[in-house]
Amino acid sequence: MRFSIILQHLAPQKTLSRIVRAATRWTWRPWKNFLIGRVVHAYRVDMREAAQPDPYAFLSFNDFFTRGLRVGARRAEGDAGTIVSPADGRISQVGRVEAGRILQAKGRNYTVAGLLADPEAAERYRDGAFATVYLSPSDYHRVHMPLDGELVESVHVPGRLFSVAPQPVADIPNLFARNERLVCHFESPRGPFVVAMVGAILVSGITTVWGGQVVPPYARKIVRRDWRGWGVRLTRGAEMARFEMGSTVIVLTPSGRLDPALQPESIVRVGQRLGDL
C-alpha cells in the first residue's frame, strides 16, 4: 500500500475537514486572497464563465470556490430523455451496472447496495447504467440535475473521508461506498434515478437547494428524509446542490445507453450529453 494511502487511513479526517471549513470561511482579506491566488495559479482556474470574473472580489475562499456561472454559460443538451452531466469535471468511470456492481477503477468495483446503503432500493439499478464524475479544484463546484425529476428521498450516509482523486480511487477498495455521502432519490415520468454526492478529505460541506446545508454535521448514523409531497421538482440542468471544496458525483439510472465515446479521464461539463434513457 502506498505511504500516502496509509497516511489517509491514519489521519483525523473529519478534524482536518473542520479546520479547513473554518479556514476557507475566514474573511480577512490578506488570508482569503492568498488562498484564492494559490488555487487560481496552481490549477489555472478559468474565471471567464463566472458570474463574478474577479476572483479577489469574493468575501471568502469558500464563496470563490462555490461561485456561480453567468447566465447561459451552460445549457442541457438533447431532450427529456437525454442524461446530461451533473457537474464540470472528468469521467472517473462510466458504463453498465453489472449484477449490482459498479466499476470504481480497473480491477475494483463496489455494490449499488453499498453506495445507497439500501439493498432494496439497489435492486432497481441492478442492471442499470452509471456515470461517475470527479471534480478537481479547478472545476465549477455546483451540481446540476441530469434529468427532470421530483425528489422523493435523501439519505445522508456516514463514513470516512478518503480523497477521491484518481490514485486513491485506484488503490482504496469500495471507496465510494465507504466515504460519507448524500444520496438523492428522484422520480421522473421516465422512471427513477439517483444522484449521489460523495464527500472527501478536506471537503467540508454539501448544500442543497431544497434543504440548505446538509454536511456538516457529519453523520453518526444513516439519516433518511422523505420529501414526497414537498413539491421539490427540478428540471434537467437546474442547480441542485454544491460542494464546499471538490469531490465526486455518481448518477444511476435503471436503464439507458451511455455514449461509447466517454472514457475515463474524458472532460465533461454541466449539461453535456452522457447518454439516453
3-state secondary structure 81-142: CEEECCCCEEEEEEEECECCEEEEECCEEEEHHHHHCCHHHHHHHCCCEEEEEECCCCCCCE
Q: Does the annotation count 85 as an active-site position?
A: no
* Measured CA distances, 166 to 97, 140, 200 (Å): 20, 18, 12
Which of the residues 17, 60, 85, 88 is marked catalytic? 88
Say whether the peptide bond before residue 173 is cis (omega within 30 degrees of 0). Answer: no
**Residue with C-alpha cell 430523455?**
81
Element (H or E) spanning 223, and its range?
strand 223-226
Q: Does the annotation count 247 as an active-site position?
A: yes
Q: Does the annotation count 88 as an active-site position?
A: yes
Which of the residues 85, 118, 144, 148 is marked catalytic? 144
Q: Helix, strand, coil % (nearest 5) of the chain?
A: 25, 35, 45
Which of the residues 60, 85, 154, 247 is marked catalytic? 247
Do β-strands 142-144 and 239-243 pair in parallel, antiparallel, or remain unpaired?
Answer: antiparallel
Quick check: 242 and 47 in contact, CB under 8 A?
no
Residues labelled as active-site residues: 88, 144, 247
